[in-house]
Amino acid sequence: MNNSNLKVLAIIPARGGSKSVPRKNIRPLNGKPLIAYTIETATKIKNRFYKIIVSTDDQEIAKISKKYGAEVPFIRPSE
């Protein structure tokens, strides 16, 4: 199989209830939420991924993720 024909899905896990640093995925760093940096990096190498999905249990993370170009097809149940 030729590697150029492979379709790769990027799944970014983003838990809402972090125990060590609460709400760290949406905390701002240099004017952007942390999750934005991960999504933007995945987007920059988009030719590697046919889709970028964020898997989260948090509505606010989902909203921010969509704003930065990721898909959030569902909200998972809390752990």
66: helix, strand or coil:
helix
Contact predicate 68/35, CB 8 Å: yes
Q: For residue 25, what are its two tokens?
A: 């995925």
pLDDT of residue 78: 78
* Of the candidates 6, 12, 2, the residue with the CA atom closest to the CA atom of residue 53: 12
Q: pTM of whole model > 0.85?
A: yes
Q: What is the pLDDT of residue 45?
A: 84
Residue 77's contacts (CB-CB under 8 Å, 6 or more residues apart) are 57
pLDDT 10s digit of each residue in the chain, 79 long? 566 677 889 999 999 887 888 889 999 999 999 999 999 999 988 678 889 999 999 999 999 999 999 999 999 987 6
Which residue spans within 1-79 are E strands per DSSP?
A: 9-14, 28-29, 32-33, 51-56
